[in-house]
Amino acid sequence: MTPLRDNIIPASLITLSAIGITFALYSMKTILVPFVFSIFLYFIITPVLRFLREKFKLPRIIALLVTFTLLSAAFTGFTLILGISIKSIIDSGKLYYNNLFLLVDYFSNSPLLTRFNIKLDFSIIEQFLRALPILDWISYLSSSVVSIISNIVLVLVFLLFIAIGEKSETARQIIDDEVESKITRYIATKFFTSFLTGLITFIVLFIFKVEVALLLATITFFLNFIPNIGSIIAILAATPIIFLQFNFGFSFILILSLLSSTQFFIGNILDPKLLGENLGLHPVVILLSLLFWGYIWGIAGMFIAVPMSAIIKILIYRSEITQIFLKTFEKDV
């Protein structure tokens, strides 16, 4: 075979394999997403299990029972927060809806427009607001909550089967110790920084008596797991509610300034300091991984884009096909 042909065959195999795997990931996302989340959750509970067994000399089954009780309590608390917050949004929906018309009226009679004799037709905006499918949105929100809860249950079921084996340790059969160490550190660090961001967000919103402060803080906690764009989405998600409650005033600007400063400090200073070069991924690779996993698995894929990409990078580099391709390429060069 010619050197060119020697290169084409491994490259073709890698390309076809990548296309096939991508199609499989997309087709089976209903099952794979909860399963992958359960594996990453296993990385989180493993140190807890080890601590309970070594510190308190608990049998594995008792340690599992204690850990799953804590997890179930955490997920139950999250579900309650979600339910209470959504009820609060629905109860306050009419107030927010009326505030939208007040804002339109305010801008239509703005002193700035009057001063420069500018006349704008806001009737189109009013017609748009009246035509908003509020009931459909509430119905969609309710169905989304049911879907989230069912997926949480599925994650816990998968996690139970992964963790219940005394020596099987399914996650470690899939991923070796080196990868496990990196992923565990990444998840633990992101959990800490996300919790810190959510806590500060809640304190700020609570001080200013922002409605659904707990929900917005919880959303911030989860979105902070998405690198780069998660913090932006969190600010954008909170902005409409804060705006409708305070209008465009000093409190509105101050709250957004505090939230943005928190996100900037934790995301650009604390996060990189704690993580360092842990996963060895270039920022461009992180961005592409967010787009890729977000495309095939939606918002859930964006949460696990970075650790998944890090795992795939290591596994691809170690594969025999990749090594053959690299050796062939080095010979030609």
In a domain, 309, yes or no: no
**At a CB cut-off of 8 Å and minimum separation 6, what does 314 contact?**
178, 179
Q: Which of 19-28, 179-188, 318-327 has the highest mean pLDDT?
A: 19-28
Structural domain for 56, as ranges: 29-174
Mean pLDDT of 85-112: 66
Q: Which residues contact 200 (CB under 8 A, 6 or more apart)?
A: 262
The pLDDT value recorded for residue 257 is: 95
Q: Is residue 46 part of a domain?
A: yes
- Residue 92 clears pLDDT 50, i.e. is over it: yes
Query: At 324, is the pLDDT very low, low, confident or very high (cuts 50, 70, 90)?
Result: low
**In the predicted model, is pLDDT for residue 272 greater than 80?**
yes
Buried b (16+ CB within 10 A) or exposed e, 63-87: bbeebbeebeeeeeebeeebeebbe
pLDDT category of residue 104 using cuts at 50, 70 and 90: low
Q: Which residue has the tokens 């918002």?
A: 299
Whether 35 is in a domain gets the answer yes
- Is residue 175 scored above 70 in pLDDT? no
Domain-embedded: residue 256 = no
Please state the domain count of the chain. 1
Among candidate residues 71, 81, 59, the one with its CA nearest the CA of residue 159: 71
User: Residue 171: what pLDDT?
Assistant: 45
Residue-averaged pLDDT of the chain: 78
CA pair distance 301, 75, nearest whole angstrom: 20
Which residue, 274, 279, 277, is CA-closest to 307?
279
Which residues fall within 8 angstroms of residue 307, CB to CB, at 6 or more apart? 40, 183, 186, 187, 279
Q: Work out the average pLDDT over 103-112.
A: 62
User: In this predicted model, what pLDDT tens digit does every residue of 9-66 receive, in sequence order?
Assistant: 666 777 787 788 888 888 999 899 999 998 888 888 888 888 888 888 888 888 888 9
**Is 180 among the domain residues?**
no
| pLDDT (mean) for 109-127 | 58
pTM of the predicted model over 0.85:
no
b/e map 310-329, b = 16+ CB within 10 Å: bbebbeeeeeeeeeebeebe
211 within a domain of the structure (yes/no): no
Residue 56 included in any domain: yes
Could you tell me where the DSSP H helices lie in 208-229?
213-223
Quote the tokens at residue 43.
């990385």
User: For position 243, what pLDDT does the model report?
Assistant: 82
pLDDT of 131: 58
Angle at 219 between CA 213 and CA 223, to 5 degrees: 145
* Domain annotation covers residue 185: no
Query: 115 burial class (0-12, 13-18, 19+ CB within 10 angstroms)?
Result: exposed
